[in-house]
Amino acid sequence: MRPEELILVSVDDHLIEPPDLFDEHLPARFRDRAPRVVRQDDGSDVWKFNGTTIPNIGLNAVAGRPPEEYGVEPTAFDEMRPGCYDAAERIKDMNAGGVLASMNFPSFPGFSGRVFAACEDKELALAVVRAYNDWHIDEWAGSHPGRFIPMALPVLWDPDLAAEEVRRVAAKGCRSLTFTENPATLGYPSFHDPHWDPLWRALSDEGVVMSVHLGSSGQLSVTAADAPVDVMITLQPMNICQAAADLLWSRVLKEFPDIRIALSEGGTGWIPYFLDRLDRTYVMHHKWTGQDFGGRLPSEVFRQHFLTCFISDPVGVQLREQIGLENIAWECDYPHSDSSWPNAAEELGAVMAGVPDRDVNLMTYENALRWYQFDPFTHRPREQSTVGALRAEAAGHDVSVRSYDKGRFERSAGANLAELRASATA
């Protein structure tokens, strides 16, 4: 299949929250305490909420920059492409990239909304989570039907309220909850604690996928403070195997057989090894560990419950049958530095060379649509949904590489993690 013929649905992109996000959606009595954007003396923009400052509003939102200017930049809205924070502009960028539909993870609240959960005033925290979800579902996604797979933030501090919020957003058509890879590292009960059962029940009842993004445990794969940043970049995706193993062996899948989990930005090429390892662990050890999947192997259980995804993963494509043809989706990762936007279709096309059309379609869009119960074709005919058709609509939209550098990026060039962190909060 030629790149222009592909249909691309991305299950992992990122939005940068615009400053007016809470203006319309937070009840009036909370508005003076709403999260707000403040410009700092050094020209950077930060979010302020609950007495804390969250810098790096566009952490790694480098789409359209030259690679020399990647890193933890940019730190201000005027250092980013508008497509990062403006849905109409995002649609233009998606068209230019040939991307039909996209699921957008949050930025400043953290992937699991832990910035909101940290607020001691739980009435305010709940109002903020709901306002965020309403904005995301009704405004960001709602303004462009068929283009954004809606995603909700969780109520992290209360499983009953979390369940209630899942049911509330599901009624609005949202079938994706962003959640943490590991609640234990955030100070909550682990996946092995019945604490979370109301949430699992709501996800199961409503057919909402728990999308766990790498880094959502609040812990990066950091080997040492003075390690080159390349170490962390390399290790992030595969690190999600910890969440996969933690959930696979947990009581959650056994007691909630309808629950489904997406390993977001986790890559795929390591999965066949992982499945073999799961099965060997079961065969060698279950007689003393007591694991019991009712006669099934863990690899079968994995394929029932987990969706994986890749940006460009030749080994994953090569081993797609061993992963599970129904278990692989594509992601663009716009606007982060691992994305090949606007040329992702060409990168993907090269990786898919020689793969039968049926398999390509499953991986590039059909699995994503089925897992998230999302149908863009009620809004746009399939034949107008290809990379080629979307790009034709984007004619004239400027996607040339542009330097947004205002002198800050040198801070991160060649840095190790400790230096990057210092620069990120400078």
- Residues numbered 379-418 forming contacts with a second copy, rule: CB under 8 A: 409, 412-416
Contact 62, 56 (CB under 8 A): no
| Nearest residue to 376 (alpha-carbon basis) of 148, 172, 146 | 146
Tokens of 236: 């992030």
> Which residue from 38, 284, 350, 422 is in contact with a second copy, where contact means CB under 8 A?
284
Give φ, ψ of 329 to 5 degrees: -125, 170
Residue (88 or 426) nearer to a second copy, CB: 426
Q: How far is the CB of 278 from a second copy (least distance, A)?
A: 6
Spatial CB neighbours of 263, under 8 Å, sequence gap ≥ 6: 212, 240, 243, 244, 306, 307, 308, 309
> Which residue from 85, 105, 179, 274 is in contact with a second copy, where contact means CB under 8 A?
274
Q: How far is the CB of 176 from a second copy (least distance, A)?
A: 23
Residue (65 or 147) nearer to a second copy, CB: 65
Q: Calculate the CA 177 to chain-centre distance.
A: 10
- Give the footprint of a second copy on residues 133-192 (CB under 8 A): 182, 184, 190-192
- Give the footprint of a second copy on residues 82-121 (CB under 8 A): none
Alpha helix segments (H runs only) across 226-339? 229-235, 241-248, 251-255, 271-289, 298-305, 314-318, 320-323
How do the residues of the chain divide into helix, strand and coil, expressed in percent and rounded to 5?
45, 10, 45
How far is the C-alpha of 184 from the C-alpha of 314, rounded, in Å?
33
* Count of residues touching a second copy (by CB under 8 A): 71
Give φ, ψ of 350 to 5 degrees: -65, -40
Binding of residue 290 to a second copy (CB under 8 A): yes
How far is the C-alpha of 316 from the C-alpha of 265, rounded, in Å?
13
- Give the footprint of a second copy on residues 298-357 (CB under 8 A): 312-316, 319, 322, 337-338
Residue (204 or 291) nearer to a second copy, CB: 291
Residue (19 or 184) nearer to a second copy, CB: 184
Residue (277 or 397) nearer to a second copy, CB: 277
Q: Per CB under 8 A, which region of 47-55, 150-158, 234-242, 380-388 contacts a second copy?
A: 234-242
Contact 369, 49 (CB under 8 A): no
Q: How far is the CB of 11 from a second copy (least distance, A)?
A: 19
The tokens 């489904």 sit on which residue?
260
Residue (42 or 68) nearer to a second copy, CB: 68
Binding of residue 226 to a second copy (CB under 8 A): yes
> Which residue from 43, 88, 160, 273 is in contact with a second copy, where contact means CB under 8 A?
273
Residue (284 or 422) nearer to a second copy, CB: 284
Residue (131 or 278) nearer to a second copy, CB: 278
Q: How far is the CB of 267 from a second copy (least distance, A)?
A: 6
Residue (164 or 231) nearer to a second copy, CB: 231
Classified as helix, coil or strand, 220 is: coil
> Which residue from 276, 375, 393, 398 is in contact with a second copy, where contact means CB under 8 A?
276
Q: Between the CA atoms of 390, 392, 394 and 400, what dihedral angle is there, to the nearest 10 degrees?
A: 110
Q: How far is the CB of 108 from a second copy (least distance, A)?
A: 23
Q: Report the b/e string of 88-120 with b at 16+ CB within 10 A.
A: eebbbbbbbbbbbbbbbbbbbbbbbbbbbbbbe
> Which residue from 23, 24, 42, 68 is in contact with a second copy, where contact means CB under 8 A?
68
Q: Per CB under 8 A, which region of 144-152, 277-285, 373-381, 392-400 contacts a second copy?
A: 277-285
> Which residue from 230, 321, 396, 400 is in contact with a second copy, where contact means CB under 8 A?
230
Classified as helix, coil or strand, 390 is: helix
Q: Per CB under 8 A, which region of 26-34, 98-106, 109-117, 230-238 contacts a second copy?
A: 230-238
Contact 341, 93 (CB under 8 A): yes
> Which residue from 249, 306, 334, 365 is in contact with a second copy, where contact means CB under 8 A?
249
Contact 301, 273 (CB under 8 A): no
| Nearest residue to 262 (alpha-carbon basis) of 212, 299, 312, 302 | 212
Residue (164 or 279) nearer to a second copy, CB: 279
How far is the C-alpha of 249 from the C-alpha of 292, rounded, in Å?
9
Residue (165 or 333) nearer to a second copy, CB: 333
Binding of residue 235 to a second copy (CB under 8 A): yes
Q: Per CB under 8 A, which region of 21-29, 93-101, 136-144, 219-227 contacts a second copy?
A: 219-227
